[in-house]
Every structure is written in structure tokens, then in C-alpha cells.
Chains A and B, each alone.
Chain A
């Protein structure tokens, strides 16, 4: 999995590429740790390069959601392919997370 961060407006956008699975979830957690350590509170995750996610990937995102919520921050997702979006919908996590079709919409009023 490739992870790239970019500041856009008042938020940090995290671009993910490849598979999110149990073997590389710690890498994602480490990237999120780094963002929180910089006192960033608004994080948008762009999933347009994500081809796969398993339940450990979902768990890592839930942890990040909780950590940001605790410090008054927010987490938004965008750019998911339908097969990835299905995993969120099946597990009803689309009700927990704010999921937008495009990055532009995710950053609007963020």
C-alpha cells in the first residue's frame, strides 16, 4: 500500500493506493499517528487508488475516527470504487463515517 499526504485548504488529505489488509494496517495506523502528532484535526482519506479492504483495515479506520472525535476533529472519506463502498455498506459503517463521492465534496465546508 502506498500512502501520500497533502495539505489542501484546512485539511490533510491522505491518498491511499493498493490493498488495505491485516499485514499493512499497522503502516496505515503509523501514518495516522503521524498526522495526529502534527495536531491535525481534519483528515480526508482519498480511496480512489484502493483496490481492496478487509476487516482489519476497517478496524484501523474506526480507531482513527475515534481518536479524531476525542480531540474534536473529523474524518471524511472520498473516491471509493463501488466494490470498496459495498464493504462499508454491508457492515453499515457508511452510517458511522462521512463518505463523499468526490474529494471536492469531501473538502467542502470541512
Chain B
């Protein structure tokens, strides 16, 4: 399975695109709980790319690539923004950050996916989920 899309920087697109991807992943071997996690992470990555990366600019698209290779689901989301220092994102679970109403998206992605890599100065996020039954279903 391989999906590549260039999405406009509009939030309403996220909730049309993501369910369609999840539907295609239903026979991938991922459990319902894992699909919930993947949906949440893809949502968060796309919202970050549109809102914080491209800053809703209609000149820029968000590129999304979803593929299954062997026993892993690989999702890459790229924006065209200024980039950011992903190492400086505060931990939202610390007591002093608990009541802050932002900063949980990347944390959820890092917690729920098996492997997360940032590149291109933070403009690209690569998320990997291992398919435990080898993708057979």
C-alpha cells in the first residue's frame, strides 16, 4: 500500500483525508486500538503542519506519504514552513505544564508511535508503527 497526497493548508481537509487513510489501513493487520493511535497521530501531525508549519498559507501544501513496507507502517508529513526545534518542545505532562492548552500533539505522536524522526529542520516528521502480526490479516 502506498499513498501520496498534497493537501491544501486547510484544517477541514484533515477530517476528510484521515478517515479515508484509516479505512484503507483496516486490513493492514493493525488492531482497532492501534488504528485509533495512528489516526490520532496522523491528525496531530497534519494539524501541526497546517497550523504551525504552513500557517494556513494557501500557497503551500502539506505532503503526506503513507506506506506499508514489510512489518511497518510508515507515515511522513512535510510542510513548507520555517521549521522548528523539536528538541525544545516542553514536556506537557510536567506539573507546571499540565494546565497549558497547547503542546500535546508531538508528545502524543512520540508516545503512541513506535519510532519518530524529525528532519529538514523540523519540517518533516516520519512516524513508524510496527505491525505485530506481520501485516497478515
Which residues does A use to contact B, with CB under 8 Å? Answer: 19, 21-23, 52, 54-56, 58-60, 62-63, 65-66, 83, 87, 90-93, 95-96
Contact = CB atoms under 8 A, between A and B. Distances in A.
Residue of A23, A66, A95, A96 with most partner-chain B CB within 10 A: A23
B111 A90 contact: yes
Given A21-B15, A22-B14, A92-B93, A55 B105 contact: yes
B43 interface: yes
Interface of B: 11-12, 14-15, 33, 36, 39-40, 43-44, 47, 92-93, 98-102, 104-105, 107-108, 111-112
Contact of B40 (A54, A63, A92): A54
20 contacts: A19-B15, A21-B14, A21-B43, A22-B14, A23-B14, A52-B36, A52-B40, A54-B43, A55-B102, A55-B105, A60-B101, A62-B99, A62-B101, A87-B108, A90-B108, A91-B107, A92-B92, A92-B98, A93-B98, A96-B98
A23 B12 contact: yes
Nearest to B48: A55
Contact of B39 (A52, A62, A91): A52
A66 B112 CA distance: 27
A83 B98 contact: no
B101 A63 contact: yes
Nearest to B19: A19
5 pairs of A and B residues whose beta carbons are closest in the complex: A59-B101, A55-B104, A92-B93, A55-B105, A62-B101
A81 to B, nearest CB: 10
A66 B98 CA distance: 12
Given A52-B36, A54-B47, A91-B108, 15 more contacts: A22-B43, A22-B47, A23-B11, A23-B15, A52-B39, A52-B40, A54-B40, A55-B102, A55-B105, A59-B101, A65-B99, A66-B99, A83-B33, A87-B108, A90-B108
